[in-house]
Structure 1
């Protein structure tokens, strides 16, 4: 049976405790961070003012006038111990479908606009990522990228930004790409970016350095119209699984119209994710879990 990494705790000034589970990105470390932060929120410990889960760590902010650093550290160590047994870890997550128009005109335009900041200015970002991963056929690349489920490991930077990491894929088989040599000063909202093995969907226009490969037809943040089916202004939740679906220009237009009319419904389902089964079965378990979604 696999073991979860041991957590290292560090104080950050008078109000923070930083818990580092591992230095490198490991899905197992993220599972543990998600489980611990969920348990912390459930306990509602007086004095804790904020809890933030990251890729392989988490941060807790507290009020030292209400709870001492040492008492909080005792709480964290006790919870950490209970969440270090993979048999005890089960995560309630959602699987969400994201319809994507790959190699679209907008991201091609941005590739051209900021080519002076790119290591390969003669290519679009889409072509560059294909080349970096040994693909010569566009459809084969799209099939690989869209057939992989992605775990939301962290939410932050710009509000609604979700870093998602491929599940059930051996590291050598992951689609990966280096970031821009110098960041873009602008990136279109809803564009899909790849940096390292991580994917992001940019929630709003803003700077960015990930390679752009397509556009999401659906928003991941909505500041104007509350998203009632999600109970949030943001689509992403740490621990959720996103699955891309390739669409063409015509379907992209239909979905965008439904979004603007307020009639679009996200396709999603609730899942119980077992980190132990994931470690034992890998891709096979993810395939069983997601089925024909």
Structure 2
């Protein structure tokens, strides 16, 4: 019987779908117990991870029987894909399964940041009445959402924003301007500079590769429309966190939200600790009850198929 190890949390129904047809070891704590994980992989045919388990040469050396890595999500920067391919190990991401969750996070957060009225709790309970200060929030209707990256998540985000009456523009050098995706979505392709200059809200949907590291740096933040907001649900490192903190302190940006960080988990203190109009969440944009169920079941079924296991 094939052995499957799971090192991070997975939906219970998907775990049950694997249990009984494989030798299953489900230990979500392994993500923080590296030695225990490596010690458990000697006979593993498949490993299922999220974004924190490092599937690197050290892990692959500890798993000589490994044939499949299932990724509960879409980003692969924690997985050495080249080394997996060289060893004949198939890497399976959950492409598309969490797009709706991320898209709803992005649109909700853009609305919240543009309205600017939802961080008044502390002032209110302190007896203040900041009505005048919070009366200049902006509506979504007619505002421009700029998407950097126009894959599954970007296109789902565009549909939600268009339904609210927003205009949507996007930059994706992998898609030529005559690609039918633009016309089908009703989205205008733009250069990166033009998008930054025109968008009221900018959302990032690109992988972290050398070309995108600190893509949004101090210079590009200065190039953004005055009063714009920035949302990063893609990968930490795409936004220069030091430059973002400075832009928020200077008022160059009206607000920002980060769901991903250069170092995860995010430590206490640091440059972001006292930045104004900043929303921080712990890499959960793509993790809702529904998305977790979809992602988990997709990977459970894909891993079984890859291993030739019958339900």
TM-score range, shorter chain: under 0.3
Structure with the greater alpha carbon radius of gyration: 2
The higher relative CO (CA closer than 8 Å, separation ≥ 6) is in: 1
Quick check: which one's strand share is greater?
1
Normalised by the length of structure 1, the TM-score is 0.28
